[in-house]
Structures are given as structure tokens and as C-alpha cells.
Amino acid sequence: MIKYRSLLEITKPYKVVAADVAEGKINHCYMLTGDDKVAIDGLITLMSEKILCDKGGCGECVTCMKIEDGNHEDVFEPKNLKAEGIREFVEQVYIKPNGKYKIMIIRELDKVDAKVQNFLLKSLEDPVDNVVFLLGAEKQTAVLETIKSRSKKLAVLPFSRYALEDYFAKRTQEYPNRALVKESVDCCLGSLTRCEELIKDEEYASDLTNVIFVLKDMTSTKDNLRMQQRLGVADGKLARYLDMMQLIAGVLLKKAAGIRVDGFEKVNCLKDVFNIPALVNFNSLIIEAKRKLESNCKESYVLDNLFIKLMEVKYLCR
């Protein structure tokens, strides 16, 4: 069973490949781009089924089952992303498929060294009949231009909150904690990967609420200690709080710039507290705090310092 099948089937990348298959015009290379790894993985499997299954990707026949179990004889993935793994993988291109097509998959092409990516070039420049590459890449800048230009690029965009809510509403047995699912959908910004992480993380919502509370209510230095206690970094949670702050700053910046954000309503109470210059400054403060934390500064010191500077920023940008 491909998780999220019904959601993935309504995405543009899937529809593009389905249309190409229907018209008999399958491209020799598709590249899925975006940072939602769960969605990209699911789409690659679904597209393989679409291309190889006689019933157009039914998800039930032997072909589809084999693809989902990772043991179909015409579907290949490198055993590792190093030179030797990719070289061995490329050799497979020139061996005839057992059935009508051979599917060559690299899920994280951006993690393959640029020099090693070159091994792929020949098979993309002179496409081999009946061989289809399905590539995934989060960081497009890490993929060779020559590969990009020979691929049909398909951007995997965030899912709408409505689509996610609808998906989970039909699966209450699998996801019995409705409140947790609701919070996760609201805070995942349309990413299945993030949504999955949040559903597993029962403390996320309350931690996020605390962070938002602190950012909103901290107005003078005399609040500093009280606010630090509210966040409680003694348990090694500072890195997590900093990630949340960075996310909040990012979302607020988008909202302030008039870019539509589907969800994350919780942060709206901060709209009047931080204007755009304050958000930009806040973001650099978080980056600085993260750097200090990585160089093993004491957590309480990092937080104290961040709060003092944050109050300055809030004051100056009023």
C-alpha cells in the first residue's frame, strides 16, 4: 500500500506522467523537485506503477505489488549514492528490460557528488529506448545543469490544508487523536513529511504555544527570567525552540509580504508585534543563537542573550 495514494494521485506531477503514459509519449527522464521527501518517494513509486502496470497503476496486481515491495525485476535503484553504486546502476541501463520498460530511480540525486552525477549523462544525452529515469531532488542547485536540461522537471508543491484535512478525516481509525492531527495539519505547511513528523511528536503543539506566548509577551527585561523559565531549556530543548522560532519568523515574513500561507493560524497573534524589519533582525538573531549552540555555548546563556537582543529589536522596530 502506498501511503497517501489518494493525495498523490491528484498532484500535478502525477497527472503529467499519467497523461504522457496515456498518450504513449513517455519522457526518458522525469525529475521531481521539492522538499517534501515523503511525497516525492510516494510519487516515484506511483509513477513506476503507472508506467509498468497493464491496468494503468492499479495498486493491486502482481506488478504493482512487486514495485511497492521493491523487488520488481525492471525497477532499479543504486545500492548507494557513491561512485561505485552509481556506476553499477548506470550499467543496468544497457541491459534489455524483461517487460516493456525499465525504470531507473534515484530518489536523492542532490546527494550524489557532481562528479559522480556525470556518470548518468551519457544515458540521458543518448536516451536508451524503453528506459525511464525517475529522479528526485530537494536542492536543485546541487544537480548538474546538463541533467536538469535533459529532464522533464515536475515541482512537488505543498498540499492544501483542505486536501490534508479531508485525507485524515477519512482515516479516523488509523489516526484516532483528532486534536493532534488537526494541529499537525495546521502546522505542516502542506508538507507530508512534516505532517508525519508532527503527528508522532505529541509535545510539538504545546511547545509551539509556549514559544509563541514568549515571543508575544516578552516586552521588558524584567520578563526575561520568567520567560526563560516558561521555555525551560534545561532539558536540551533549545535547538528545537530555535527551529520553531525560525519557522515562525519565516511564516510571519510571508504573511507580512502578502504571500498566502495555508494554515499556521496560531502565529497571527504575532502579526502586530513584529513588523518586517523586526522579523529580518529576529531571523539573524536566531541564526546567531544556533551558531553559538553548535559551538557548545551554555544553553541558558544563549537563550538569555537572544531574549535581550530580541527585546531591543522589538523596541527599535516599533
Closer residue to Zn ion (CB): 22 or 58: 58
**DSSP code of residue 97:** P
Closer residue to Zn ion (CB): 45 or 281: 45
Please select the residue that binds Zn ion; options are 21, 32, 51, 53, rule is CB under 5 A.
53
Nearest approach in angstroms of CB 102 to Zn ion is 17
Nearest approach in angstroms of CB 61 to Zn ion is 3
Nearest approach in angstroms of CB 103 to Zn ion is 14
46 sits near Zn ion (criterion: CB under 5 A): no
Closer residue to Zn ion (CB): 66 or 230: 66
Closer residue to Zn ion (CB): 53 or 86: 53
Cell output for 76 = 532499479
Strands 75-76 and 102-106: parallel
Q: For residue 233, how many other CB atoms are within 10 A of its CB?
A: 21
Closer residue to Zn ion (CB): 58 or 297: 58
64 sits near Zn ion (criterion: CB under 5 A): yes
100 sits near Zn ion (criterion: CB under 5 A): no
Please select the residue that binds Zn ion; options are 61, 142, 163, 317, rule is CB under 5 A.
61
Spell out, one character per residue from 214 to 233, where the chain touches Zn ion: x when CB under 5 A holds, - when not.
--------------------
Find out whether 259 and 276 touch, Cβ atoms under 8 Å. no
Closer residue to Zn ion (CB): 57 or 78: 57
Find out whether 192 and 39 touch, Cβ atoms under 8 Å. yes
Closer residue to Zn ion (CB): 53 or 278: 53
Q: CA nearest 184: which of 168, 23, 213, 279? A: 168
Q: CA nearest 239: which of 198, 197, 299, 279? A: 299
Please select the residue that binds Zn ion; options are 22, 58, 225, 308, rule is CB under 5 A.
58
DSSP 256-310: HTT---SS-GGGGGGTTT--HHHHHHHHHHHHHHHHHHHTT--HHHHHHHHHHHH
Size of the residue set binding Zn ion (CB under 5 A): 5
Nearest approach in angstroms of CB 74 to Zn ion is 13
Task: Name the helix (H) or strand (E) containing 134.
Answer: strand 131-137
Stretch that binds Zn ion, among 53-61, 68-76, 145-153, 307-315 (CB under 5 A): 53-61
Closest-by-Cβ residue to Zn ion is 53
> Angle at the Cα of 246 (from 307 to 306), degrees rounded to 5?
15
CA distance 126 to 28: 10
Which residues in this chain contact Zn ion in the complex, by CB under 5 A?
53, 55, 58, 61, 64
